[in-house]
Amino acid sequence: MARKKRSQARDWLENAALRTLIGGLLILPYRVRVPLCGWVMSRVIAPLAGYRKRIRDNLALVLPDLPAEEVERLVHRVPNNAGRSVIESYSGAEFMKRAGTSPVTGPGLAAVEEAHAAKRPIIFLTGHFGNYEASRAAMTARGYTVGVLYRPMNNRYFNTHYVAAMEALGTPAFPRGRQGLGGMLRHLRAGGKLGMLIDLHMYDGEPLTFFGKKALTALSAAELAIKYNALLVPTYAIRQDNGLDFEILMEAPVPHTDPVTMTQALNDSLEDLVRKHLDQWFWIHRRWKKAR
């Protein structure tokens, strides 16, 4: 069934409202704007956009035994983290300076440094957790050039400044699809580094397991790692208790076997981390949609 055509007028109005909000927040000091955007997302936008219901539905699907008080906490904390991440990513140099000082830890760091010295391609795999852009900022500060593969926004007006904000945090940025495929492959062949997300629903993905339920998952990261002999490293930016800083965790590289086994290992890695920090994953996603 064909998708319903988006309204150009609605897209323009939504973008105008968001641009006004973002522009107003950027006037404020960094320490004020980040928690304030989290509050606005949690208390104003989330209930209007239906995010609270979606969070409850997802939690009921995969964590049905979660206590009611924990569900209510997550209903507020999840959009708060999302709001903080949005304004951080639009804060350009200020965010880069702050996130660039993040400590990088974990068993994967030594392997990454070795591959970097050998000019071997590296794929950093992450999810919509904490603020995934913080890990790219931290590696940029260490002298790495990390490209990013992204899915363009449905709202054409918002997508323009969304991509500009992403590129302000580092280039190259490759859109999903034919447009960005050639540039991304050349980048990897030359020994480049690439950041990718593992937790997006893909209609043509493999029905792998995430939180005990089938979730259609792209195999592309594992396929690229095998084809270009790239190191495949689960990498996460964990938001700290002050709400402004991060710790970058690099887990051990995923061994090269076959794409399904490797991608399931990535799902398992993300699930393990999310279970430890339930409020930092984007439970607003429709992650467990069925195949079309």
Look at residue 5 in the predicted model and tell me its pLDDT. 63
Q: Which residues of the chain have pLDDT under 70?
A: 1-6, 157-159, 162, 291-292
User: pLDDT value at position 3?
Assistant: 47
Residue 98 lies in a domain: yes
Residue 50 in domain: yes
Residue type for position 182: G
Residue 196 confidence (pLDDT): 93
pLDDT at 208: 97
Burial bucket for residue 104 (CB in 10 Å: 0-12, 13-18, 19+): buried
- Count of domains observed in the chain: 1
pLDDT reported for residue 19: 80
User: Could you tell me if residue 199 is inside a domain?
Assistant: yes
The label of the residue with tokens 């660039």 reads 100
3 domain residue, yes or no: no
Q: Is residue 30 part of a domain?
A: yes
- For residue range 52-101, what is the model confidence (pLDDT) as tens digits? 999 999 999 999 999 999 999 999 999 999 999 999 999 999 999 999 99
Structure tokens given for 114 = 């070795």
Determine, yes or no, domain membership for 64. yes
User: Which two tokens mark 172?
Assistant: 């190259």
Q: Which sign, positive or negative, has the C-alpha torsion 33, 37, 43, 44? A: positive
pTM given for the model: 0.91
Containing 188, the helix (H) or strand (E) segment is helix 178-189
Q: What is the pLDDT of residue 9?
A: 82
Q: Would you say residue 291 lies in a domain? A: no
Q: Extract the tokens encoding 226.
A: 């095998």
Question: What pLDDT digit, counting tens, does each position of 270-292 carry?
Answer: 999 999 999 999 999 999 987 55
Q: How far, in Å, CA of 184 to CA of 111, rounded?
A: 22
**With contact defined as beta carbons under 8 Å apart, do 33 and 83 qualify?**
no
pLDDT at position 1 is 41
Asked if the structure places residue 290 within a domain, the reply is no
Residues of the domain holding 229:
8-280
pLDDT at 6: 65
